[in-house]
Structures are given as structure tokens and as C-alpha cells.
Structure 1
Amino acid sequence: MVSPPTRYLVFFQYFGTKYSGVMETSNDQAVVGVQNYLEKAAQNLKPIVPIKFHISSRTDTGVHALCNSAHLDIQRAPGKPAFNEKQLIYSLNYHLKPEPIRILNAYRVTNSFHARFSALSRTYIYRLLMGCTHYSEIPVFEKDLCWAPAGGYLNVPAMQDAAQCLLGTHDFSTFRSLNSETPFQSPIRTVLQADIRPSSGFLSHHYEHRGLEFWELKFRSRSFLYRQVRRMVGALVAVGQGKLTPRHIKELLEIKDSRAFPPNAMAPPSGLFLKSVEY
């Protein structure tokens, strides 16, 4: 008698620099997705049916996750009991080393649960470094983990004013990049949180004399459009540099055209982290 599959929700984190993004790619590519490594590790659990990770939140090349999530179904050989959560975490992490990918938690869920569609909200943070006049001044331990915009310091109060324009329900067409899903996706999104707060760097208290400042931009919404967060960050940084005003952010929203977004203003992937997926 074949036992039915058991569905699990897993939370996992990864250092995104070396991957093509979180989503699966063909294995013959030079750089593949985090999902490729997750599914390769899962095959060591000797399931009857190959295990597929259904990932809740897409992240691009170079974007990191403090905590992403996925669901998976595991069907074991007849007579074998379902894995308990601790066994699953330990086994997957054992087979993921030495990759910078870690399973944080696992929970058994009902077969109707879906990691992507059951999510209530997603929270992203973007790390900015101010005070660098040249990229060579970025601390070596912060490489690929923040963005140091040209020109040193930014007008944070102006950025905070502009961020308020992004709160609420809007047509975010101007703040999305176009991809194959664009024609099928509504551009209407509700941004529940848009904060800019001081933060800290890795061991930065040991080099306070350098006058570097770390700031975190935090955005929360049920879901985001393709590259929406990076475009919002880029526009807010342009406000901080004096290239745009808070009023321009409002106008960009009203234009509802991705081509109206200022050229080369999108923030790079390196400072972006998926912080959490809420259920």
C-alpha cells in the first residue's frame, strides 16, 4: 500500500550572489538557481516521486533571502513513515553543504496549503551605505550586501517624505520592469509599509571613525511586481541625491508607464534581501 505524500512548508535563506536567482534553471547553465540545489539535496531523501519545491517568492540574480519559503510533497516507500520536521531540516542541510543555502524551519501542512498563494504578505529590506565617495571605500565584508550610491551622503528626510507617496494602493506600472508575465499581471499593488531607518553594518562599530552610515529601506506588501522594489529604491535614492523631488515620485505613479522610469535609476540587486514571508 503506497502511503499518500506528506506536504511540508520550509523556510530557507541564501546568499544570492552566486546564483541565477531562486527559481530553477536548466542544469547545463554555468550559473543555476537556488531551487536546483534544493531539489538536488531533496533527491537524497530517496522519495518515490521526484521532489519539487514550490517557491513562494521569486528573487533575481544577486538578490539574497534572510527567509524565503516553499512547499514540497514527499512520498516515501511503502512502510516508511513520514519525516518529522527536525529530520527533514537536518537531512536537507546536510546535503546542501557547502552551498550558502540553509533550511531554517519546516512544518507539516495540509495538502491544500500553497507557499505562494497562501502567503499574506512579503517583506523586503534594502541596505544602503552612505559616506563612500568611491566604491573602493566599501568595507570588504559588505561586498555584494549593500549599495553605496555615488556622491556619498543622501538627503534622508526627503527620501522619507517621498516613501510616503508609495504607501497604499496604486497602479505601479511605472515601477515594474517588463517581462513575459507583464500582460497577464495586474499592476495594482498595495504597499503596507515603506520605511527608511538607520541600520548597522557587519562589525561597523570597529570602524566608526570612517563616518560610514548604513540605512535600511523596508517594504511590505502582499506581493510585488517584477523588480518593483529595486525601482522604488532607485527612485528614492534619486530623491536623496536631489535628482528627483518627492513630487516626482507621485507623478511617476500617475504616469503608469514603465518607460517613464528614469533611465539607469534602478537599484542594483546586491543590497536587496527578502526578509520574510508571512502566513
Structure 2
Amino acid sequence: MEVVNKPVKLGVRFLMRVPPGRRHRLLQASSQYTPSMAAPESYENWTRQDLIARLRRLERAGGTSASKSRAGRDVDFAAQPRRKIALKFCYSGWEYGGLAFQEGHTVLPTVENVLFDALARTRLVDPAKGFDGCGWERCGRTDRGVSSAGQVVSLWIRTTLDCPDGPSYLPPERDAVALSTRREAPQDASASDDDSDSLLDQTEPSSSTAHGTRKRPEFQFVSMLNRVLPITIRILAWSPVSSDFSARFACRYRHYKYFFTSHGLDVERMRDGARRLLGEHDFRNLCKLDPAKQITSFKRKILEAEISEVDSAPSDRGGVPSEPLYVFDLAGTAFLYNQVRHIVAVLFMIGTGLEHPSVITSLVNVDRSNPYPPFQEGEPAPEIVDTKPVYQMADSLPLMLWDCVYDEKDVSWRVTSGDPAVEKDLLKSENGPGNLIQQLGSAYGRSRIFTALNRQFLAAGQQYIPPPKSYLPIGGPGVDALVPNAMLDIPLGGGTYRQTTKYVPLLQRDRLEHVDIVNERWREGKGSRRAARQQVDGDE
């Protein structure tokens, strides 16, 4: 294999942090150093001001040539074929301001903004046409702080193949002359000046064979994108899909996971409450009402609602209390806004003993003309609740969109693009499939270290400060008897609690207005003003 020495671009701030001797060698090795620019004396003797002035001159000189080089390698997207694919990826939600793309400045970047930038940087989509230009569709939206291990988006993406298998193929938008020019001239598929080998090392020019023109291998989408994405977003797989495939509407069901410890909770009571969620119910009292969406039907079908132990409690060292970790698995054909976090919040109230599991049955019993019977023998008829009680939903940190499930006829997940010659080298590369597992394993290993450190902090604090009394779950083994005006720490998930000395039963709390009233007020107010603005924009 031929080794090519690539030019190195050096920045002022970087070089000023480098020791003088090494700085001199770096400058000599960089493309910014030529014999005509050689210093009359060693850089070690230069003043800081002289070095900064020289480096800025070199940066300007290098920047001009780099800009010309980059402009010469810009992709003419109109002359490129496209195919439709689906991408499956995971992300750490606490690092981002939610999944969905946001216009303008945001405190934290969104996952879709970062992912689209990576697609544009690798020249797989046309940045000028944006999300609409590539037919971007997501499976399910997640809020700020919520993570995913199996989110899916579908989009039209640039391809190296002249005619990929299946109907999901768009030829170049240019005429036959442009098409022939594209086929005869090798594509320059470089990603950027800083990552000039991110695409080039996995494509090669077409070559003549006894059967005509040999096709170049397809882009290795997974490794290409993981090379430029932050470690908190990882592409797991991709699949060719049909031209009418929709990541949102083709999904059969979505599976969420919510993690929690058993501190202050009776898990068996929570399991009783979770069983009442199965089947199709009206979940208007277990979601956030958003009048802008004008939802009139709140019926959703739950396929799975189970609580299981993830791992046993660690050994009790240094007097630190140990509780096992549990996960609530919830799968359904569709979900309402913040539905999972509202359900978990009510399950926590049930787990503390402050609410009976039958409260779930009451919250989904909204139709006065067709009321629910008791869920099981011995229970009274559930109360009809057609307006939502006021309560706080669970924390976002422990929530994960685990998977988006599709029919096998619609997707065929894969990690590479199927070319044996390319895959052999890909397995050895920094962002190959094997190293992806190493990266995820490394993140898991670091999180275990943080867990151990935080456990030691807790042990250190308990040497001087005794833990507060625990009254939850009410009547639980080893739990203090509930006394008047006792401070209750009601779990909200993620290590957060709502403290109160007076708990008001859920069905006795203030209620929100009926959803029909809220929807009508929005239509007459913000909705009508929005429609008027859209009408004006359309006339212009």
C-alpha cells in the first residue's frame, strides 16, 4: 500500500501550546512551511508576538489554497444519483436539547441538527436543500434529556451505484451529457479538508472489465458517519428501503425503557398498576395536552407493560444502602406527548403506597357512556375521570426509546455495504463495526467508574450526616411508621424527588379543563392568528 504524506494544517492556538522545539519540527513538517519561508533563525528564539504574526501569515496563505481546494471538490448534487435508506442510531439524550431539528440558536444542540451536519459534511446530502430536500422523516420524537438505543430516520441519500436494487432510486437531475460525464470522471468523495480520507478511502474510480464498466462499492454509511459524529451519537445500522417508506408510519410499534431503583417503592404494587395499561385505552389523563396538535382521539394500544430487575443490589459497603435496579418496559403501536413519563409518575405514586393500583383503571376510564367495570374481583367500580388531575411527570433522564420495530419486508438492517474487498479493510479501521462496540463498551466502563465514585462520595458523607427517615413505601419492611406532617420524598425518577408534608390523593386534586375546551380556545386564539399569517405568506 502506497503511503501518502498529507499536508498538516496548524493553528495558532495549537502551536502556541506546543514546546518550542517540537513547534519548530511541526512547522517544518507542515504544508505551511516551504524553503522560501524558512526562518533566518530558530523558532526557539522568536518572541511570542513574532510567532503569532508569522503563524497568522501562514494561516492566511494556507487558508486561501485550502478554500480553492475545497471549492474544487464540491459535489454537484444535481449530477448525482440518490437512493432511499433508513438509519438506525443511538444517542445520549442528556447531551442534547431533544431530538428534533430547531431553527435558530439553542442552549444545547439537537440530535437531528448534529446528524444532518454530519450527513452534509460527508457530502451524502445537499446542505443547501435542508431536511425537506432529502425527505427526512423520524420514527418518534424524544424530548430533551431522553435517550435512544434504536431511533430511526429515513431519507434520500447520495449513492455511488448507478442502479441500486429495488425501486428506491433517483437518477441525476441533469441531462444525458452530464450523466455520461459523471460516469467517466471519478467522483471526488472527500468529506472536508480536515477529514479528506473519510470517504475517499472507501471508494475507487470505475474501471473497465470484460463485461464493461465495473461499479464502485457503495458508501460505507455507518463508518463514514461515525467518523465525523460525536461519540454521544452512534450510527448502528442502515437499510435500503422503498421509495414510499416512512420511518414514522411504517413502524409497527415502539418500545420504551424507564430505569429506576427500588428506593422507597413497592415494586409488586407497581406491577399491579402496569398490568392495567395493557390493551387499547384513552390516555388523555396520562399525557401532556398540547392544543396546537388538535388531538381529538387519545386512544392508544399498549402491547407490553412489564417491570423486571436489571441487576441485583451491589454489596453493602461502608453503610451505603443498596437497592436493585429495575426497568419498566412499555411497548405500544403509538404514544402521546410525554405519555411514558406520565405513566411512570403515577406508577411511582402507586409504588410508594400513596395510591392504589386501581387509580390507573380510573385514569383511563373517561367515557361516561361506556364506563369500565372493576379490574379484578373485590375492587369497587373505578371512578370516571374525563379531565386530567394536576400532577408532575417523571424525570427524563432514565427514559430511553429502546427500539423502533418494522416488518422484515420493509427493512433489512446491515452494518456494511456488502463489498468484501472494502469490508476487509473496514474491520481494521478506527470506525469499523468492531471498534463501534469497543467505543460503546468504553462508555459503559466509564459510567461504572462514575457510579463507583458517587457511591464513595455517599459513603463519605454518611460518616458525618445520618440519612433522613424513610416513610416510603408506607408499611414496607424496615420503614418508619408514618407520622403526621412527616416529610415525604415522592420519587420522580433519575434520583429526583418531590418533597411534601401533605399528600393530596390524585383523584382529589384540581383538574385541568376538558380537552375539547382547550382545543377550541386554541383554534379561536393562536390557531386563527397562525392561519392568518400563513394566508398572508401564501399571498405574497
Task: Please tell me the TM-score bracket, short chain as reference.
Answer: 0.7 to 0.9
- The aligned runs of 1:105-144 (5 Å cut-off) are 105-130=237-262
Give 1:231's match in structure 2, choosing from 323, 342, 345. 342
1:261 partnered with 2:382: no
Give 2:99's match in structure 1, choosing from 14, 18, 22. 22
Name structure 2 gaps, 5 residues minimum. Answer: 1-77, 160-171, 173-181, 188-214, 368-384, 407-540
Cα offsets for 1:50-106 (capped at 9, x unmatched): 363421111000001111111121136744579736x11111111103x40000001
* 2:302 partner letter: V
- 1: distance between equivalents of 2:227 and 2:101? 20
Cα offsets for 1:91-125 (capped at 9, x unmatched): 1111103x400000011111111111100000000
Name the structure 1 match of 2:157: 74
Deviation at residue 250 of structure 1 after TM alignment = 0.8
Give the TM-score, by structure 2 length.
0.44
- The aligned runs of 1:7-18 (5 Å cut-off) are 7-18=84-95
Name the structure 1 match of 2:138: 55
- 1: distance between equivalents of 2:301 and 2:251? 14
Name the structure 2 match of 1:277: 404
Which protein is richer in helix relative to its size? 2
Name the structure 2 match of 1:100: 232
Farther-moved stretch of structure 1 (224-233 vs 180-189): 180-189
1:215 partnered with 2:348: no
Q: Which has the larger radius of gyration?
A: 2
Contact 2:282–2:364, Cα closer than 8 Å, also in 1: yes
Equivalent residue of 1:92, what SS?
helix
Contact 1:9–1:72, Cα closer than 8 Å, also in 2: yes
Query: Residues 242 and 71 of structure 1: is their aligned pair in 2 closer, same or farther, counting only changes over 3 Å?
Result: same
Query: Residues 207 and 278 of structure 1: is their aligned pair in 2 closer, same or farther, counting only changes over 3 Å?
Result: farther
Contact 2:97–2:106, Cα closer than 8 Å, also in 1: no
Deviation at residue 252 of structure 1 after TM alignment = 1.1
Which protein is richer in strand relative to its size? 1
* 1:93 partner letter: N
Cα offsets for 1:218-265 (capped at 9, x unmatched): 00011100000000111111000112111111111114778523422x
Query: Residues 30 and 211 of structure 1: is their aligned pair in 2 closer, same or farther, counting only changes over 3 Å?
Result: closer
Give the TM-score, by structure 1 length.
0.82
* 1:247 partner letter: S
- 1: distance between equivalents of 2:398 and 2:387? 24
* 1:195 partner letter: E
- 2: distance between equivalents of 1:23 and 1:83? 32
Contact 1:175–1:261, Cα closer than 8 Å, also in 2: no
Name the structure 2 match of 1:36: 113
- 1: distance between equivalents of 2:253 and 2:272? 24
Compare relative contact order (CA 8 Å, sep 6+) and give the higher one, 1 or 2: 1
Number of paired residues? 253
Query: Residues 258 and 213 of structure 1: is their aligned pair in 2 closer, same or farther, counting only changes over 3 Å?
Result: farther
- The aligned runs of 1:150-161 (5 Å cut-off) are 152-161=263-272
- 1: distance between equivalents of 2:125 and 2:146? 33
Question: What is the alpha-carbon root mean square deviation over aligned residues?
Answer: 2.5
